[in-house]
Amino acid sequence: MNTITKWFVDNKLAACLLASLILGTLILGFLAYQAWDDYGTASADYTSKASQLLKLSQPPKPFPFPSQDNLSKLEATITTEQSQLDALIKYLQKYQVPTFAEIDNAKPQDRPQRFQDALRNEVTKIKSLATNTGASLPPGFYLGLDDYENRLPSQDDVQLLSKQLTVLSWLGELFATHKDLILSEFSRSTAETLPKKTSPAVPVKVSTPYKYACGMKVNFRCSQGSFREIVNAVSMAPYFLIIDQLLVQNTSSEPPRRDTPPTTLAPALDGSTPIQRLPIIVGRELLDISLKLRGLEFSDQESPAVKYLQHKPADEGKGL
């Protein structure tokens, strides 16, 4: 070490030149690396722009030549798609919602009173079921139809209300069968609220093969197993139910500790040693659920798709 220091002292000019050479090499290396990186970025940008320019310079694909052969192919394609759409609509028609307790078979003047009686009986039935299973219903629970507890519906509304009662009673019984469930809200939405994007200058009327049957909002607390069973039951419901919104929150904000010892099991009645299960990873906390459902009904009317082949002008296709 003393020799190197002595050499630098004795050869100051050579030492300064050596230090300058090393510093210059480092600076040139950094500039070369930065230039190479800029070159790679510019090259990739050029390749992308050249590809876009090539696509824009190519002529658009020509339309099929207006010949009888191409028209036949188009008609065959439309016929196939129309038959597939009709088959799908026919399959979805099995999700039609029946009126509760066959209220539509009663005389029109008797339907409002019959609806109110059926509603009262169904609420009493679900409350009794919840009491037997241990489920908790909110105060004043009336299947979301509180307006008709002491008031008869009009004859114009009783048809739709009786279908809504069918869906609401099915859901009410579903929640009432879980002993650890605490239901805090069970409400019904009265109208479909979907965003409508139409131009004011050109009004567009869209025909759909379904109609709005019922909308529901449910808030409840239950175990993880009950929540899984409820979601599975909704997905396999006899009615076409759509989950519009689902919010899940744990009642415990802290996860279970990793060093929590496993639970010690008591010996079995026959004296044998029970099998030690693995500890639960996600904990045993309950879940707070907020669920919004929408029920759709598919009518048995003709498909709203455009029947091109049936409504084709008589002179269409001439001159091809």
pLDDT in tens, the chain (320 residues): 567 777 767 777 777 887 888 888 888 888 888 888 888 888 888 888 888 888 887 776 666 777 888 889 989 999 999 999 888 888 888 888 889 988 988 999 999 999 999 999 999 999 999 999 999 999 999 999 999 999 999 999 999 999 999 999 999 999 999 988 999 999 998 654 444 444 555 555 556 777 777 889 999 999 989 999 999 999 999 999 999 999 999 887 776 666 666 555 556 556 666 555 545 545 568 999 999 999 888 776 555 444 444 445 444 444 33
- Asked whether 225 and 178 are in contact (CB, 8 A), the reply is no
What does DSSP assign to residue 241?
Answer: E
- Asked whether 240 and 298 are in contact (CB, 8 A), the reply is yes
Alpha-carbon distance of 171 to 192, in angstroms, equals 19
Strand pairing report for 182-189 and 240-250: unpaired
Alpha-carbon distance of 303 to 91, in angstroms, equals 12
In sequence order, the β-bridge partners of residue 214 are: 295
> 272: left (phi > 0), else alpha (psi -120 to 50), else beta?
beta
Q: What is the pLDDT of residue 205?
A: 57
Structural domains of the chain sorted by starting position, each given as residue range(s) with its CATH number in brackets? 86-192+208-253+282-298 (3.30.70.60)
> Strand order in 182-189's β-sheet?
182-189, 210-222, 287-298, 240-250
H-helix or E-strand spanning residue 213: strand 210-222
In the chain, the N- to C-terminal Cα span, in Å, equals 99
Q: What is the pLDDT of residue 265?
A: 56
The CA distances from residue 153 to 100, 103, 311, in Å, are 14, 13, 42
Q: What is the pLDDT of residue 96?
A: 85
Q: What is the dihedral of CA 306, 308, 312, 316, to 10 degrees?
A: 130
Q: What is the pLDDT of residue 68?
A: 87
> 117: left (phi > 0), else alpha (psi -120 to 50), else beta?
alpha
